[in-house]
Amino acid sequence: MNRSLLSVGIDVGTSTTQLIFSRLHVQNEAGAFSVPDFAITEKEILYRSGIHFTPLLSPERIDGEGVQRIVEEEYRAAGMDRTQVQTGAVIITGETARKENAQTVLHALSGFAGEFVVATAGPALESILAGKGSGAAAYSREHHCAVVNLDIGGGTTNFAHFEKGKLLDTGCLNVGGRLMKFQDGRCTYLSPVLEKYFTKDSDPEEVARFLAEILEEAMGLRQGQRYTDFITDKLCKPAPLISFSGGVADLIDHRPQDPFAFGDLGVLLGEALAASPLCEEGRYLRAGETIRATVIGAGMHTTELSGSTVFYRNVDFPMKNLPVARLSGEEELLPQEALISVIRERMEQVAPGDSPCVLSMKGPENPRFLELCKLADAVALSTEARSSVLLCLHNDIGKALGQAIHSLIPQKALLCLDSLHLPESAYLDVAAPIAGGQVLPVVIKTLVI
């Protein structure tokens, strides 16, 4: 049984706004007499938008109507209708995520992203999306090696370290092409992060070389600690191979003659990187996608599928922005009364009162009937004051546990997913079931790593 999902990715970044449509092919990979095992087996880009400068009303405010017009125009150009879209993500990244009205703009765009919205992307999520969209994660997996992808945008550089395809670490520095802006060759803007080292009258080539050196320090290719002044979150460890994505990545190998062609440092920074040890032969891995890496990550690498042993009753889909209350392995083994207390406490921490949230746990493997009933009792008792019970398990017991809980609280909204691992400080979006109701598309939104 084959199915497909139409996905959209919309990225409103510091410098540019762009969009892609893609088709995600879903296939049951299990045998005829086995429990269904649905997976996204193929991802196909259907349409790439043009690269639009992100419209601003002021240095502090995004032009929400301008962004919406761009998205509407690209939908028309692609021949797509918003009702056709089933999954995907709208993300606001880089410096744009810090604008005063970022959340208002996201709300205005939410109708264009099917059943999912991934709000403002923090440094970790943005790093992950760019690393996957650039092809760095796939290269690392296929060649059994370690790769760090540096996604250089207008205001920040996001790092993602992959080993054998697995994400190990992320980081972020305030290094980008629009830290200085120019008009008629004169500097009109100097980012506060550079004021310790430069003025508006400083040589822009010197500034570009300095920023390249900051990245060299961060990757262990130059002695020095100046990069610590530019850390926005944390820094990830280096790797033998380095790839670049983002707008500046295109300017490493191909640059216009005019150094201020884009009104910023981008061209000069690309030139400085090309001459840097970061791009030495044997270390520099050319990315499969550069300026579109993040939007491709948003449109093609955010959606996952639950296991096929799921249970749901009285649930209105889609469900968005559900905070995750996660139990540790030790907490799951607590005696009944202590387990009930911990579940209540953990859920109250992330979603006070009757606010919906997802209780995440590993769950017992191949549990006996009495063990399953005991866990169902604990969940039902710990959620007495809540109108909905939403669970996500790593082990494949979603349907059995859901049925046991439903027998205790038949009137409540109940959702029990499995075959998913939700990290700490995550949020979950859940779309309507597909494949005859056997599996549910989800987006796991990780805020930290």
Together in a domain, 117 and 256 = no
**Same-domain status, 441 and 339:** yes
CA distances from 390 to 41, 67, 313, 379, 403 (A): 27, 35, 11, 10, 13
Cα 344 from Cα 358, distance rounded (Å): 12
- Tell me: do 265 and 315 sit in the same domain: no
Residue 34, classified by CB atoms within 10 Å of its CB into exposed (0-12), middle (13-18) or buried (19+), is exposed
With contact defined as beta carbons under 8 Å apart, do 357 and 325 qualify? yes
- Domain of 85 in residue numbering reads as 2-121
Q: What is the pLDDT, as a whole number, of residue 446? A: 58
Contacts of residue 109, Cβ cutoff 8 Å, sequence gap at least 6: 10, 12, 67, 68, 71, 90, 117
Is the omega angle on the peptide bond into residue 318 within 30 degrees of 0, that is, cis? yes
| Whether 233 and 369 share a structural domain | no
Domain assignment present for 299: no
Supply the CATH number for residue 256's domain: 3.30.420
Query: Does residue 114 sit in helix, strand or coil?
Result: coil
- The radius of gyration of the chain's CA atoms, rounded to the nearest angstrom, is 23
The predicted model scores a pTM of 0.72
Tally of domains within the chain: 3
Decide: 268 and 212 in contact? Cβ < 8 Å. no
Beta carbons within 8 Å of 186's beta carbon, 6+ residues apart: none
Provide the pLDDT for residue 97. Answer: 63
Which of 291, 317, 333 is the last residue in one of the domains?
A: 291
On whether residue 296 sits in a domain, the answer given is no
Residue for token digits 């207008």?
154
Asked if residue 301 is part of any domain, the answer here is no
**Of 265, 291, 317, at which residue does a domain stop?**
291
Question: Would 324 be classed as within a structural domain?
Answer: yes
The pLDDT tens digits along the chain (449 residues) read 457 878 888 888 777 888 989 888 777 665 544 455 566 667 788 999 998 988 888 877 888 888 889 999 999 999 998 888 877 777 776 666 666 677 777 767 766 765 555 555 555 777 888 899 899 999 999 999 999 999 998 889 999 999 999 889 999 999 999 999 999 989 999 999 999 999 999 999 999 999 999 999 999 999 999 999 999 878 888 999 999 999 899 999 999 999 999 999 999 999 999 999 999 999 999 998 888 887 777 665 566 777 767 899 999 988 887 888 999 989 999 999 999 999 999 999 888 999 999 999 999 998 999 999 999 999 999 999 999 999 999 998 999 999 999 999 999 999 999 988 877 667 788 888 877 777 888 877 654 43
How far apart, in Å, do the first and last CA atoms of the chain sit? 35
Q: Would residue 23 be called left, alpha or beta, if left means φ above 0 and alpha means ψ between -120 and 50 degrees?
A: beta
Q: What is the pLDDT of residue 449?
A: 35
Asked if 114 and 259 sit in the same domain, the reply is no
Rounded CA gap, 289 and 131, in Å? 10
Q: Which of 64, 99, 121 is the last residue of a domain?
A: 121
Same domain, yes or no, for 209 and 310?
no
> Domain for residue 298, yes or no?
no
Do residues 415 and 398 share a domain? yes
Report the CATH number that the domain containing residue 73 is assigned in CATH. 3.30.420.40
